Structure 1
Amino acid sequence: MSEGTMQLRAQRDQRDKREQRERKASRLTRAAVCAAAVPAVLVVAGCSSDSGSGDGQDKAAAEKSAASQSASPSPTVRAAAYAKLPEPCSVLSKKSLEDLVPKGDSGKEGASNDTASRVSCSWDSLDDNGVKGSQFRWLSVSMLRFDSDATRGAGDELAHAYYTKQVGDAQSAEGAKGLKTAPVSGTGDEASVVRYDLKKKEGTFKQQTVVARVENVVVTVDYNGAGLAGEKTPDGDDLVKDAQKAAKEAVAAVAKANGGGADSSPSASEPASEKPSASASKSG
């Protein structure tokens, strides 16, 4: 074998070895890439599996919650104690009217589109003493009844809120002088009297407002008096006593109209779902 031939064979062997090394390195690189790709595929597959399982669990939980809600009973509240109101112009006795409005005519009933929930009556009196002047009196009794309602609450709670509002309105009367507020005992579940003076060109008017709540009914008594044309101003303490007496009679009349005495009422512990009357809902 010539020297040239031997040299060519040696070069070919070196080239073959180099190509073998390159092919081996290429195979190792591809294996490493594939190995790195396998965990990513597994992770994706695992996430897809978990997501599907979570969706199933969420759907099952939603269906269970919906079934539970549909099976739950509707909310209930205490039944309203009183279902009706008395005739407003008959709540006070003849004797009381003679004391409060001595020269008054028969009462004037106020307009109402729902007499089971809202009624009122008013009287006025002018005792003319000729040149000595005259004594003026004005009396009003109004009653508002609240039904129990599952969305708004129990009737007595709604009445309490309205009672509080009525007292606040009386205390904020425009032009009131010497305003005083005091609790009234023995009249319903809660009661207050608001008194003040109003000075007008005709004279000084003594105003008394008694607000009382009995169960789910609010009674408001407005009573004022004045000495006109030279007649002396009436005594405020006497007028307050008369107004309180009228409020107590009106509260007793509410219980009587519902088949009970002054201190009796139906049980307020049983549930009810009746809707409030239209007029009481608007007022509340």
Structure 2
Amino acid sequence: MHRSASRLTRVLACAAVPVILTVAGCSSDSGKKSGTDSGKKSEASSSAQPSSKPSKEALEKAVYSTLPEPCKAVGAKTIETIVPKAKDANGTAAKSNDLASRATCTWNGLDEAGLKGSQYRWLSISLVRYDSLASVGTGSKRAEDEYAKQVEKAKAVEGAENVKPEEAGGIGDQATSVTFTTKKDGDFFNTSVIARTHNVVITLDYNGTAYEGATAPDQAKLLQDAIAATKETVASVAAANEAKQPEQSTQPEQPAQQPSPANS
């Protein structure tokens, strides 16, 4: 009996060892998890703090929100002067899905003078307006980029000869004139004036030629007329946007009437 009791005691003691080790192991894992949890809490606390980076400033609002009717960008007298005997004095507007952002009008005319020959003139006015967009920049900056592209395009017309670009002052915020000649059914004298007024780009193309022995167009006069028409178009853009502003009443505000005292 004594030997059996002693043996039983040793068996129970051995059996208890794994249990103790297991408990100890659990305590160790628990400590690791606790450390991990505290690390996660620390990271969460750090991420919850407000960012010290400044917020992106709001984009500058585009100055112009609409365009004038392209065929009314220059007056009837101007068309009569620079496109004499125009086939359609009212011009021909190009189709556009958004006339407030992109518009074009063209005129052409053949002034026949009998034995003195004929003079042909062609005029095109194109307007493009840009809004301010967070993804690409302000309307003015986008218009600057388009202005530069149009100037390069005017200087690289296929078949152009004697290309002469010049800065044209006094027209909007930026302006460049490009004169050149081309040969197609006669000698054509061409003038392009590219101008930017705030977030609107204007491209005016004006050319002329002579037929049946008529005197060739004066390139300097063509340029002068093109610059005058471009200035008129810049003014039309400003006027169209002023007209769009809500009208403010000029009547002085009337003071509120005081209620009359009740009869006693």
TM class, shorter-length: 0.7 to 0.9
The alignment's TM-score, normalised by the length of structure 1, stands at: 0.69
Matched, 1:83 2:68: no
Which residue identity does 1:215 align to in structure 2? H
- Structure 1 position 204, deviation (Å): 0.7
Which residue identity does 2:221 align to in structure 1? D
* In structure 1, C-alpha distance between the alignment counterparts of 2:84 and 2:134, rounded to whole Å: 46
Tell me which protein shows more helix as a share of its residues.
1
Which residue identity does 2:219 align to in structure 1? G
* In structure 2, C-alpha distance between the alignment counterparts of 1:48 and 1:147, rounded to whole Å: 55
SS, match of residue 127 in structure 1: strand
Matched, 1:203 2:186: yes
* In structure 2, C-alpha distance between the alignment counterparts of 1:190 and 1:150, rounded to whole Å: 24
SS, match of residue 77 in structure 1: coil
User: Which of 163, 170, 186 does residue 154 from structure 2 map onto?
Assistant: 170
The change in CA–CA distance for 1:46 and 1:229 in structure 2 (over 3 A counts) is: farther
SS, match of residue 78 in structure 1: coil
User: Which of 71, 78, 93 does residue 109 from structure 1 map onto?
Assistant: 93
Unaligned runs of 5+ in 1: 1-44, 261-284
Unaligned runs of 5+ in 2: 1-29, 244-264
* In structure 1, C-alpha distance between the alignment counterparts of 2:210 and 2:32, rounded to whole Å: 92
Which residue identity does 1:222 align to in structure 2? D
SS, match of residue 89 in structure 1: helix
Cα-to-partner distance string for 1:220-276 (whole Å, 9 max, x where unaligned): 11000011232221111110000000000000000011117xxxxxxxxxxxxxxxx
- Structure 1 position 59, deviation (Å): 3.1
Structural mapping, 1:152-163, within 5 Å? 152-163=136-147
Question: Which residue pairs with 1:126 in the alignment?
Answer: 110
* In structure 2, C-alpha distance between the alignment counterparts of 1:227 and 1:54, rounded to whole Å: 86
User: Which of 57, 80, 86 does residue 98 from structure 1 map onto?
Assistant: 80
Question: Which residue pairs with 2:43 in the alignment?
Answer: 58
* In structure 1, C-alpha distance between the alignment counterparts of 2:178 and 2:34, rounded to whole Å: 74
SS, match of residue 153 in structure 1: coil
Cα-to-partner distance string for 1:14-63 (whole Å, 9 max, x where unaligned): xxxxxxxxxxxxxxxxxxxxxxxxxxxxxxx9998876654443333233
Q: Is contact 1:75–1:150 with CA below 8 Å preserved after alignment?
A: no
- Structure 1 position 149, deviation (Å): 1.4
Matched, 1:189 2:185: no
- Structure 1 position 134, deviation (Å): 1.2
Matched, 1:236 2:225: no
Which residue identity does 2:42 align to in structure 1? Q
The alignment's TM-score, normalised by the length of structure 2, stands at: 0.74
Question: Which residue pairs with 1:216 in the alignment?
Answer: 199
Question: Which residue pairs with 1:12 in the alignment?
Answer: none
The change in CA–CA distance for 1:110 and 1:48 in structure 2 (over 3 A counts) is: same
Which residue identity does 2:75 align to in structure 1? S
Identity between Structure 1 and Structure 2 (%): 42
Structure of greater relative contact order (alpha carbons < 8 Å, 6+ residues apart): 1
SS, match of residue 160 in structure 1: helix
* In structure 1, C-alpha distance between the alignment counterparts of 2:69 and 2:118, rounded to whole Å: 31
* In structure 1, C-alpha distance between the alignment counterparts of 2:41 and 2:179, rounded to whole Å: 69
